[in-house]
Amino acid sequence: MVKKLLKGISNKKVKVFLLFLLCSFLAWFLSNMSESYESRANFNLNYRNLPDTLFLGNNSSDFLEAKIETSGFRHFYFNVINKKINIDLSQVSYVDGRYKLPEASLKKQIEGQLSQNVSLVDLYRNELYVDLYKVKSKEVPIKAILDIQFEPNYILDGEVTVDPQTVLVKGPANEIDTLRQILTTKIELTNIAADFSKEASLVFPKNMTNSIFSISRTEVSGQVVKFSEKVYEVPIQSINVPEGYSIKTFPNTVSIVCKATIEQLKVISEASFQVVADYKQLNNSSDNVLFLQVIKKPEKSYGTRLLENKVNFVLEKE
């Protein structure tokens, strides 16, 4: 039977019949697709022209369903590809705790973006509610997170420099009011013996989903200098001694190790330091030990260290 059927199809009259049938179908299809009729269409929404005081949240509608009238060809296009419609929010109104665009404004904006052979019949919602909230802005300092391993006898000269130093944050008050600083990703540097400069990404808090940040990266740099150490013998001064008494300390001088550049060490002297033994810090009157404090040291140094932090003393009546 299959062979008979194939033989029948190959018959010239059958071929002509099928050709006319195909042409008739195409004519019917084109005729119907050319006619206008109504059907549903989805529009993707692109929000624009937000007022400066408002910010778009994450819960706004991404599309809008409408009824349109156009040709079958156009309906086929709208069923395959959703047309993008720009929604101007400059005239949004605040009603009953929510921001919305009324139906009349929606229709006017949509109709202005449709081609001449497409008519907007109706919307499937009376008004469009938009997830907006009042925006607040704040300048927040950036803090660099560093892990630096220096070469021997090298040290950071002063504080690291962050450029830019701050990031502008815009968002709802409940998100940014408690924000005090923004950290960078950890910068790890090893065997450092020269000035450095590294770009680092900023780490934003995960709970700030409705806030935006003006920058996402910053430049972190620092100056590195070579240092040396020198020991200074500094006299010990006694303070807060009871009236009518004097104190003698044993020893009466103490060694201080100062860390600085070779150029700085040339101008630093014993007079650059002041070490005191404070009688008020005496915890037990039966003890004959006073603890030492460095209350004056050179500004241009990278650290000082007492080789001894306490001395014996004798309280004598004058």
More confident residue, 200 or 93: 200
What is the pLDDT at residue 187?
A: 95
More confident residue, 53 or 231: 231
Q: Which of the following CATH numbers is that of domain 136-226: 3.90.1150.10, 1.10.10.10, 2.170.120.40, 1.25.40.10?
A: 2.170.120.40
What does the pLDDT average to over 34-42? Answer: 65
What is the pLDDT at residue 133?
A: 80
Q: 236 with 253: CB under 8 angstroms?
A: yes
Using 50, 70 and 90 to split pLDDT, how confident is the model at 45?
confident
pTM: 0.58
Indicate the class that CATH gives domain 228-317: mainly beta
Residues 177-188 as b/e (b if ≥16 CB within 10 A, e otherwise) read: eebeebebeebe
What does the pLDDT average to over 219-230? Answer: 94
What does the pLDDT average to over 236-245? Answer: 91
Q: What is the pLDDT of residues 106-160, one digit of tens each?
A: 888 887 877 767 767 777 777 788 888 888 889 999 999 999 999 999 999 889 9
More confident residue, 189 or 136: 189
Q: Where are the domains of the chain?
A: 35-133, 136-226, 228-317
Q: What is the pLDDT of residues 54-86, one digit of tens each?
A: 878 777 778 787 777 766 555 555 565 677 888
Quick one: CATH architecture of 35-133?
Answer: Beta Complex (2.170)
What is the pLDDT at residue 202?
A: 96
- Do 35-133 and 136-226 come out as alike in CATH topology? yes
Residues 6 or more apart whose CB falls under 8 angstroms from that of 115 comprise none
What is the pLDDT at residue 33?
A: 47
C-alpha 54 chain-centroid distance: 20
Instruction: Enumerate the β-bridge partners of residue 219.
Output: 163, 199
Q: What is the pLDDT of residues 258-305, one digit of tens each?
A: 999 989 999 999 999 999 999 988 866 557 889 999 999 998 889 899
| Distance of alpha carbon 207 from alpha carbon 143, whole angstroms | 19
Whether the pLDDT of residue 210 is over 90: the answer is no
